[in-house]
Chains A and B, each alone.
Chain A
Amino acid sequence: MIGAHKRWPGWMAMAEPAANAQFMLTAFAFGALTYAFVSSDFSVALVVQNSHSLKPMIYKISGVWGNHEGSMLLWVLILTLFGAMAAWFGGNLPPTLRARVLAVQSAIAVAFFAFTIFTSNPFLRMSVPPFDGQDLNPLLQDPGLAFHPPFLYLGYVGLSMAFSFAVAALIEGRVDAAWGRWVRPWTLVAWVNLTIGIGLGSWWAYYELGWGGFWFWDPVENASFMPWLIAAALLHSSIVVEKRESLKSWTILLAIIAFGFSLIGTFIVRSGVITSVHAFANDPERGVFILMILGFFMGGALMLFAARAGAMEAKGVFSLVSRESALVFNNIILTVSCFVVFVGTIWPLVAEMLFDRKLSVGPPFFDMAFTPFMVVLGVILPLGAMMPWKRAEIARSFRPLVPALVLSLAIGALAFAMQTGRSALGPIGMFLGTWLVFGAMVDVWSRTGRGALAGRFGRLTRLPRADWGKAIAHAGFGITVLGVSGLTAWQQEDIRVVQFNQPFEIAGFTLTLTDVQRVEGPNFASTMGTVDLAKDGRAIATLNPEKRFYPVAQMPTTEAAIDIGFWRDVYVVIGDPQNNGGWAVRTYYKPLANWIWGGSILMALGGMFSLSDRRFRVAAGAAKRTPAGGVPAE
């Protein structure tokens, strides 16, 4: 298996086949590990620790990356996949730039190969193969989580392409519109995957953890959220590079930082340093290795940046009120908010090391310190998106948005009137979300120019897909804002001991526990309740909340039962039987819950739309001969 990790020497002419070979060999190694899992080969230590012969097939496969070593292999697999893709689609790049991109990319790969082999070899053998495995952690045996890591890694690792392009451009000493156009699709791919990955993780947390939380500001979550924020900033600033040839050195810096945050995220997650300084000191091998990788690539890239950034003079001239400025503002908000998350994440560590204080930084801090930035971003976004390049007038860009503003103010006021004595969060969120969604609609509509309605509708279908992508992603952001604020502000909760066939009410719904049974699953035993859900005497659904017990891993899990609706979820969890009869039951009414993930899907979809825009297909060389007449409207 060691042979699989060997890398061809990367001199220039060899770069392309080398990248391909690197990918093939890694894929072979990954395939071998997957085979070991699928066939339950218990002579491999990793399979013993994370698999079991009775486990359903899908979780045998997802077990490959449900652990440190296997996920590192997935990480390098994706890393080399991106390298190989750059080689396949890079026919359009200047040869020196392409060779340099590939060289940087494989340098990163080599570092991570070394990490994998020396500190986390997935192929270690057992001297005495046991009869059966220890099973994958049952909480990981879930379809939502089976696909969460691959998406997340595609995102994390995809940012390495932006990094490689940035470093290659610094070596080359040239950053122009073409560079902006090449680097943007890669960033988009990474960002779309990060969005999906984070969304999947959050959705999974919502239905699996038993109280319907969707975001916890845990260091691990922050580790994926920080690159997402920076990637979003990078997407926007590279537009300026592409269209206006300004903000070049800033964009390069962002590309470097974006990958830096992926590496920092890896460091946080793999080293255990955030949990406790002592845990880190006890097992420093992996942490120190990643820190060295981080130091080498970030230090190198930033030194290169310091030396070369001055050589990139900006071109375009633009006024203080213009789309360029709006995008600069977007970048400021996104990076500063990322900085807040970063400071909050590492503060316990800083406080312990410098001030000898053991303290916690939890969700209340992040909610207070982070949310205002998103509010400001949301207020400015629709206006900024309407501004023309170079020189804009606020009044003129604002005029088409007046109906959207009035409507969203009305909805905010309505929300305020309907709730009694609660925080201002709900109404503000409703206003912001509606403003974003309708702002995006106005944005698309205004692109159709002037003239008769029919003509404008016709033009709507022929707009560049990038315009649609922008509007869809912005509207998705708005919908997520609606979901988060609706759920946070108006959720209702009920905890009680429930006797059989004695109905109880929450938020106008009537629930009745009719039965509790023991059910056997393939590799678990379940205690399953049956709850009838009704509203106004009309039956809506029968819910089956479960408590499962996985005997091999000796672990219980909770499976909430959720009646999913467009406007609300009703969420039921069953607890323990009580001494005096009856069962503990927890019920939640969760308004707009699904909008959170609906919005994330829209954001990802918007990104994909942009990605499929003709300009990128041409620029990436993937489709060299699009038929004259342009984009087929789909």
Chain B
Amino acid sequence: MTRLALILWLALGTALAPVTILIAPQALAVQPDEVLDNPVLEGRARELSRGLRCMVCRNESIDESNAELARDMRILVRERLVEGDTDQEVIEFIVDRYGEYALLKPTTGGANWLLWAAGPLMLLLALAVGLSYLRGRETAPETGAARLNEDEKARLSKILED
């Protein structure tokens, strides 16, 4: 996970923060010695790293993480790219090794279609309900004035006077 989130967790009081990550040596995420000479390959490596999860962190990509494992994964990604793998092949390679958990962007396979479709479906539903409500409002008969009792009428006029 990002350190931000970790702090928020701490700040908001969870007792479950994984302290190990904090003790890991503080370093820059991507080290200068990892960077590939070929800027195109390096660009692809960065893009891929941003979508891969550091397995020992909470919600942190390997591009951001300071953990040793994240460094290993970054180097692995770069090795595959230098070997000539496509982006898709690198991702498949990582998933084969580390499982689906490593993908920060979930696949659309299996039940996951529901996750991706949840927003659009809900929007359609909400629009349908909203439209039918609005149509109803358009044709509804105007009802009489607000039903205030005497006491409230007096107060209302007092407020309006102020």
Verify if B83 is at the interface (C-beta below 8 Å from A).
no
Question: What separation, in Å, do the CA atoms of A320 and B130 have in the docked complex?
Answer: 10
Count residues of chain A with CB under 8 A from any CB of chain B.
100
Determine if B9 and A324 form an interchain contact, defined as CB atoms under 8 angstroms apart.
no
Point out the residue from B28, B61, B152 that lies within 8 Å of A573, measured CB to CB.
B28
Determine if A354 and B111 form an interchain contact, defined as CB atoms under 8 angstroms apart.
yes
Determine if B16 and A332 form an interchain contact, defined as CB atoms under 8 angstroms apart.
no
Question: What separation, in Å, do the CA atoms of A344 and B28 have in the docked complex?
Answer: 29
- B130 cross-chain contacts in A, Cβ below 8 A: 328-329, 332
Determine if A319 and B58 form an interchain contact, defined as CB atoms under 8 angstroms apart.
no
Verify if A624 is at the interface (C-beta below 8 Å from B).
yes
Determine if A359 and B105 form an interchain contact, defined as CB atoms under 8 angstroms apart.
no
Determine if A336 and B126 form an interchain contact, defined as CB atoms under 8 angstroms apart.
yes
Question: What separation, in Å, do the CA atoms of A220 and B138 have in the docked complex?
Answer: 42
Determine if A68 and B13 form an interchain contact, defined as CB atoms under 8 angstroms apart.
yes
Determine if B11 and A140 form an interchain contact, defined as CB atoms under 8 angstroms apart.
yes
Q: Per-residue 0/1 for B81-96: is the Cβ within 8 Å of any A Cβ (1 yes, 0 no)?
A: 0000000000000000
Interface size class of B (residues with CB under 8 A): 35 or more
Verify if B10 is at the interface (C-beta below 8 Å from A).
yes
Determine if A216 and B106 form an interchain contact, defined as CB atoms under 8 angstroms apart.
no
Verify if A323 is at the interface (C-beta below 8 Å from B).
no
Determine if B10 and A140 form an interchain contact, defined as CB atoms under 8 angstroms apart.
yes
Chain A nearest CB from B5 CB (Å) reads 4
Chain A nearest CB from B15 CB (Å) reads 6
- B106 cross-chain contacts in A, Cβ below 8 A: 347, 359-361, 365
Determine if B135 and A584 form an interchain contact, defined as CB atoms under 8 angstroms apart.
no
Point out the residue from A72, A496, A626 that lies within 8 Å of B162, measured CB to CB.
A626
- B126 cross-chain contacts in A, Cβ below 8 A: 332, 335-336
Verify if B157 is at the interface (C-beta below 8 Å from A).
no
Verify if B39 is at the interface (C-beta below 8 Å from A).
no
Chain A CB within 10 Å — which of B11, B64, B110, B118 has the most? B11
Question: What separation, in Å, do the CA atoms of A176 and B149 have in the docked complex?
Answer: 13
Determine if A343 and B59 form an interchain contact, defined as CB atoms under 8 angstroms apart.
no
Q: Per-residue 0/1 for B10-25: is the Cβ within 8 Å of any A Cβ (1 yes, 0 no)?
A: 1111111000001101
- B99 cross-chain contacts in A, Cβ below 8 A: 358
Verify if A520 is at the interface (C-beta below 8 Å from B).
no
Verify if A201 is at the interface (C-beta below 8 Å from B).
yes
B window 36-91: CB within 8 A of A: 50-51, 53, 58-59, 61, 64
- A201 cross-chain contacts in B, Cβ below 8 A: 4, 8
Determine if A318 and B137 form an interchain contact, defined as CB atoms under 8 angstroms apart.
yes
Q: Say whether, besides A176-B146, A369-B119, A275 and B16 are in contact (CB < 8 Å).
A: yes
- A317 cross-chain contacts in B, Cβ below 8 A: 137-138, 140-142
Chain B nearest CB from A64 CB (Å) reads 12
Determine if B140 and A314 form an interchain contact, defined as CB atoms under 8 angstroms apart.
yes
Q: Say whether, besides A275-B16, A317-B141, A362 and B59 are in contact (CB < 8 Å).
A: yes
Verify if A149 is at the interface (C-beta below 8 Å from B).
yes
Verify if A505 is at the interface (C-beta below 8 Å from B).
no
Chain B CB within 10 Å — which of A328, A362, A363, A625 has the most? A362
Starting from the known contacts A209-B4, A318-B138, 16 additional A-B residue pairs (CB-CB under 8 Å) come to A65-B11, A201-B4, A209-B2, A216-B5, A218-B2, A221-B8, A270-B12, A318-B137, A340-B118, A343-B119, A347-B115, A359-B100, A360-B103, A362-B105, A495-B31, A496-B32
Sorted nearest first, the 9 A-B pairs with minimum C-beta distance are A362-B104, A68-B13, A556-B26, A364-B105, A218-B5, A205-B4, A340-B119, A575-B28, A272-B16
Could you jot down 28 A-B contacts, CB within 8 Å?
Answer: A68-B15, A211-B29, A218-B5, A218-B58, A220-B12, A221-B5, A269-B8, A269-B13, A313-B143, A317-B137, A317-B138, A319-B138, A328-B134, A329-B130, A332-B126, A336-B122, A339-B118, A340-B122, A343-B118, A347-B106, A354-B111, A358-B99, A363-B61, A364-B104, A555-B23, A573-B28, A584-B32, A625-B162
